[in-house]
Amino acid sequence: MSTLHPTRPTIDSAAPSARFTDLLAAEWIKLRSLRSIPWFLLVATLTIVAVNANGARTSRAEFDSWTVQQQAYYAEFGALHDAFTRPCASLVLLMMGALGAIAILSEQTTGLLRTTFAAVPARRELLAAKVAVVTAVATGFGLLVASVSFWLDEAMLAGRYGGVSIGDPGALRLLVASALLAPVGALVGLALGAVIRHSVTAMVALFALLFMVPMFVRDNTHVGAVVTHAQPFNAWARLGLVGEITGQPYPSSIGGAWAVYLVWAALAVLLALFTVPNRDQ
């Protein structure tokens, strides 16, 4: 009497592995398929542009009440600062930090990440694709809000109110620094989400790391100045200044500020790439 054995599925070991472009496409589909992401980006864009425009509107309304010296100072420096305000720089860091955290937490909290790793054994390549997509989306967001804010605010200030052009000293650097602040924040949020794996805790940690820690540090000592200058927000503020800093014992530099951007982004990427694949076995 013969015994029938069910046929087992075989795995074709010669089947080609997923290309990096395929991983990029998959990560892009996963990110944009989250219902909250399009609305989040729309609201974030309108908020940043509106807050910046309100700064320019307020300065324009108060311009006639200023002294001649204040008006001269505003024409030389103040109008540039109204192109992208300090509150908006803080908002960009927090909003893009939330975006980066959502990109990884949406898979970790639902268990989808394990399924994804089962389908794509090349874990670090998969995480690299996620990092690339998040960076691209955040950079596009940063370029959009920085460019629109600069154009709108300086158009409001044109003429007697002292609006500046993109060719004025420091204008292009401020525009680029404001745009690149977005991917830095997104990568930090992604790294924190990868490590903490809890949305609320990750958001609290993001706020504490970027904004609470600097409040307890003073830049009148060398160590305090190093910690202060190493913060992304302070690096952005330095890049927005025109000329040399005077009156500070340990001033920061333009090159150092750009290095802060690079170091934060690099450390965040490395943390995500080495934490998630080793933990989600």
* Separation CA 157–CA 57 (nearest Å): 8
Residue with tokens 């024409």: 75
- The separation between CA 56 and the C-alpha centre of its own chain, rounded to angstroms, equals 24
pLDDT digits (tens, 9 = 90+) for 141-182: 999 999 999 999 888 887 777 677 788 888 899 999 999 999
pLDDT tens digits along 213-234: 777 777 778 787 888 889 999 9
Q: What pLDDT does residue 183 have? A: 97
The pLDDT score that the predictor gives to residue 61 is 86
Task: State the Cα angle at 244 between 82 and 252, rounded to 5°.
Answer: 90
- Report the b/e string of 65-83 with b at 16+ CB within 10 A: eeeeeebeebbebbbbbbb
pLDDT above 70 for 64: yes
CA distances 228 to 185, 219, 236, Å, are 17, 6, 12
**Maximum CA extent, the chain:** 107
Q: What is the pLDDT of residue 137?
A: 97
Query: For the CA atoms of the chain, what is the radius of gyration?
Result: 23
Residue 228 has a pLDDT of: 85
Residue 8 has pLDDT above 60, yes or no: no
Q: What is the pTM of this model?
A: 0.85
Tokens of 34: 């989250």
Task: Identify which of 86, 81, 71, 84 has the alpha carbon closest to the alpha carbon of residue 159.
Answer: 71
pLDDT at site 279: 65
Share of the chain above pLDDT 70, in %: 89
The most confident of the ranges 24-28, 198-202, 204-208, 255-259 is 255-259
> 209 versus 158: which is more confidently predicted?
209
